[in-house]
Amino acid sequence: MAKVLNDKSITAYVDGSFNVETGVYSFGCVFLPEDGTVRVLCGSGNDPENAKQRNVTGEMLGAMNAVLCAIKSGYKAIDIYYDYAGIESWVTGAWKSKNDLTRSYAMAMKGWMSRIEISFHKVEAHTGDKYNEVADKMAKRGADANGIPETRSIKEMEIWNPEK
């Protein structure tokens, strides 16, 4: 399990989802700040062009929102745990960005690397990794959200309640 090393770095788990019936893509983020809480964020979109990428769009939005919230919160480094390989591979160049959406994602993440150190960590999906499972739940919950929330401080986010 990942842990925060100091108040200048944060751990985040991200995931994406797609609702075939509604055409809504969504994301979930789980943050593990230094205060020991588990903070969560989710959101969604339904742009028809972006929906063509299904859950991949949500995966990218999760990573992007995690980075933006970490920057806004003053962190100097973020460890992103993900279960979809493109999250890292498009940024590192291991995968070629073949469409506007993946190119925009890779460019944004590379640009933010001048403001925050981003480390990527692959986890296997649906294997019992506690926070990856929470990110998955948040991504599914995000399908009911009304759009993508504005970037805010991690301390202002909802504290995860497993009963919800």
**Among candidates 155, 128, 116, 161, which has minimal Cα distance to 32?**
155
Q: Which residue in 46, 57, 42, 51 sits closest to 149, CA to CA?
A: 42
DSSP 3-state percent helix, strand, coil across the chain (nearest 5)? 35, 25, 40
Evaluate whether 149 touches 61 at the Cβ level (below 8 Å).
Answer: no
Per residue of the chain (164 residues), give pLDDT as tens.
Answer: 444 445 699 999 999 999 999 999 999 999 999 899 999 999 999 999 889 989 999 999 999 999 999 999 999 999 999 999 999 999 999 999 889 999 999 999 999 999 999 999 999 877 888 999 999 999 999 988 878 888 989 999 999 988 76
Side-chain-side CA neighbours of 92 within 13 Å: the count stands at 10
